[in-house]
């Protein structure tokens, strides 16, 4: 769960970064598999557009709110 991963990172357990790396690698492998299939099927442009529509950058206002919440949580955890 995300809570367990947070615990691993907070406790500086080496398993946290390892699991995050495995997750990130699997994400990229799946993306490449899907990209390859779309290219072979002749649907690359529509695949690319659909993928990019799901992964647009977070709006600046939301990013600032998330950063503030993160900073408050860190201060609380280190108090």
Q: What is the pLDDT along the chain (79 residues), one digit of tens a residue?
A: 889 998 998 898 999 999 999 999 999 999 999 999 999 999 999 999 999 999 878 889 999 999 999 899 888 877 7
Residue 64, Ramachandran bin (φ over 0: left; ψ between -120 and 50: alpha; else beta): alpha
* Residue showing tokens 């994400």: 27
Range of the domain at 41: 2-77
Number of domains observed in the structure of the chain = 1
Q: Please give the structure tokens belonging to residue 50.
A: 């659909």
Q: Please report, in angstroms and rounded to a whole number, the separation of the first and last CA atoms in the chain.
A: 25
**Distance between CA 31 and CA 45 in Å, rounded?**
14
**Distance between CA 60 and CA 71 in Å, rounded?**
16
């Amino acid at each position: 769960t995300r809570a367990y991963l947070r615990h691993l990172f907070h406790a500086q357990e080496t398993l946290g970064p390892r699991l995050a790396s495995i997750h990130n690698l699997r994400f990229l492998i799946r993306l490449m598999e899907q990209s390859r299939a779309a290219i072979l099927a002749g649907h690359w442009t529509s695949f690319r557009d659909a993928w990019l529509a799901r992964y647009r950058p977070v709006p600046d206002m939301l990013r600032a709110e998330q950063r503030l919440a993160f900073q408050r949580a860190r201060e609380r955890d280190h108090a």
